[in-house]
Amino acid sequence: MKKTQQQNRFGIWIDKKQATIIKVAPDGSKDYIKVKSHVPFMERFKGESTSKTGLFGTTLSREKKLQEKQNNSVHHFIKEVVSNLDHANAILILGSGDTRFELQNAIDKSKSMNGVWVENKPSPKIPIRAIETEMEKHFNLHFK
């Protein structure tokens, strides 16, 4: 089976709530994809305490369980973003926080993304046109 040459270039802005993906095909056509995260954020209630004393004096904490649930949700969100990166040649990751590093690690571990050029750059929340501008700088693209 012949391996198709990967030519698409991607620009991604990501945080824990959503990802904005711009895909540029070799012919210059652009696709925009928004992926929403379903990561639960911890709700606070008045009078809430974080730990309880259980049987035999052990401390039962909800924090560990909630943190594991949040980590699993972030992992599923990252997998969903990676599944949208088909036939990638180069990927520019923008964003704030740890989610962009988690995305880069997932791309590096993915067998289908072997040999893909990835650059990770910090950025505040920016509109789609600013993501396109960053892609133009990094990939020497000229959008029409």
pLDDT tens profile 81-127? 999 998 899 999 999 889 999 999 999 999 888 889 999 999 999 99
Cα–Cα distance, 97 to 94 (Å, whole number): 10
Q: What pLDDT digit, counting tens, does each position of 21-44 carry?
A: 999 998 889 999 999 988 776 666
In the CATH hierarchy, which fold is given to the domain comprising 8-40+58-139?
Answer: Nucleotidyltransferase; domain 5 (3.30.420)
Q: Which residue bears the tokens 């590096």?
A: 108
CB atoms within 10 A of CB 75: 13
